[in-house]
């Protein structure tokens, strides 16, 4: 007996690994299995695979291979910059936006217990950082300071204006800039040399690579700020035996996504338009949290249902009908309070909101079926 067909629309939480990535990773589990720190042939082959992957990623992002450091994902990378940077560079102030991911907010808040001043800059109703408030916060901050700005928001899809933020941040020689690119790398054009960013990070499982692998970009010339100690791996930036298969898979996935970037972007934008226009046809009460198309990721739509109070019931109803979507960030699943992102843009906690997120593997038929199921649920 076969189960009900599932429609997976939670790609901002994680994406399925594509066959090309599985094929690229497979030899590094049971054939080329050497420790890349070993000097014998098995170790040397593993080391070559890592450095080839590093060069591939660096070329795709227009940076130097020496500026890419492999991590277990975005959370580790963010913690490395925030906590490792505090230990090595001595942050006096950390300035973040209200809509940062918790992997930035939580380590920053912990440092407030150690005398670091934390400033949260407000955003407008679309989720964009308020630039004048950011300017004011940087001007007043005790230095050295770290500024953290999310590029593409993981809950509502808002894209922050890096060109404008760069003009504000970079005149200050004792202010460092960290950018969360977890939802943008692999999905929109990224040239990391364009904005003079100090730190940026990504997670492979957001662009059809493996879980548990990602990377930190750190601009050349900055001092080492390790968080994990115990070995000389990653040029003394991240101790621990490297995840060779995961690193190979990360480079393969990013190559696949970037090579097909324009095709994927246009395809996803059409899916998003079909979904939003369909929702507006279903009910004039349904609203989009954050921007709909302009300055927004094509992969994310956060939908508010004003006549439904409990988002968990709505999510469970979708799940029963075969639709995988989420209330907010997967990292905050199980939390009973409203999303801090939705709070920041003024969404009422008495109105249920659900995030739907797409990948190039989704189809227009799946979007239409989802709209049909939503119409049944809101009528009930």
Q: Catalytic site residues?
A: 331
Q: Taken in order 95, 98, 102, 105, is the CA torsion positive or negative?
A: positive
Sheet-wide strand order for 300-305: 287-288, 300-305, 352-357
Burial class (CB in 10 A: 0-12, 13-18, 19+), 177: buried
- 319: which 2 tokens? 């799940």
- Tell me the HSE value of 310 on the side-chain side, using a 13 A CA sphere: 5
Q: Reply yes or no: is the peptide bond before residue 21 cis, omega within 30 of 0.
A: no
Nearest to 374 by CA among 289, 308, 328: 308
DSSP conformation class of 4: P
Q: What is the Cα–Cα distance from 175 to 68, expressed in whole angstroms? A: 21
Residue 370 in tokens: 């989802």
The strand pair at 117-121 and 352-357 is best described as unpaired
Which H/E stretch holds residue 271?
helix 261-282
């Amino acid at each position: 007996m076969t189960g009900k067909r599932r429609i997976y629309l939670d790609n901002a939480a994680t994406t399925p690994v594509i066959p090309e990535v599985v094929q690229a990773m497979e030899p590094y589990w049971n054939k080329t299995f050497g420790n890349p720190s070993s000097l014998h042939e098995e170790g040397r082959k593993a080391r070559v695979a890592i450095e080839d992957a590093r060069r591939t990623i660096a070329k795709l992002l227009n940076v130097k291979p020496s500026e890419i450091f492999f991590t277990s994902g975005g959370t580790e990378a963010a913690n490395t910059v925030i906590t490792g940077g505090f230990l090595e560079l001595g942050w006096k102030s950390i300035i973040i936006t209200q809509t940062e991911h918790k992997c930035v907010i939580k380590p920053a808040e912990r440092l407030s217990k150690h005398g670091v001043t934390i400033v949260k800059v407000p955003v407008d109703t679309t989720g964009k950082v308020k630039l004048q408030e950011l300017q004011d916060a940087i001007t007043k901050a005790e230095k050295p300071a770290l500024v953290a700005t999310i590029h593409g928001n993981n809950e509502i899809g808002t894209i922050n204006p890096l060109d404008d933020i760069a003009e504000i941040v970079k005149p200050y020689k004792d202010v460092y800039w960290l950018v969360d690119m977890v939802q943008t790398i692999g999905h929109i054009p990224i040239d990391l040399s364009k904005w003079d960013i100090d730190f940026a990070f990504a997670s492979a499982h957001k662009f059809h690579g493996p879980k548990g692998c990602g990377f930190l970009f750190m601009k050349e010339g900055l001092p080492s700020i390790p968080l994990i100690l115990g070995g000389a791996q990653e040029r003394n930036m991240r101790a621990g035996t490297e995840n060779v298969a995961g690193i190979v898979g990360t480079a393969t996935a990013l190559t696949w996504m970037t090579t097909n970037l324009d095709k994927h972007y246009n395809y996803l934008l059409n899916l998003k338009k079909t979904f939003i226009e369909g929702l507006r046809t279903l009910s004039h009460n349904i609203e989009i949290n954050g921007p709909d198309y302009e300055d927004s990721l094509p992969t994310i739509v956060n939908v508010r249902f004003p006549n439904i109070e409990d988002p968990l019931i709505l999510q469970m109803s979708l799940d029963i009908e075969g639709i995988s979507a989420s209330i907010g960030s997967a990292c905050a699943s199980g939390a009973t309070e409203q999303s801090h992102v939705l709070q920041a843009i003024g969404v009422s906690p008495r109105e249920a909101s659900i995030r739907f997120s797409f990948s190039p593997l989704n189809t227009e038929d799946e979007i239409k079926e989802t709209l049909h199921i939503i119409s049944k649920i809101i009528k009930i």
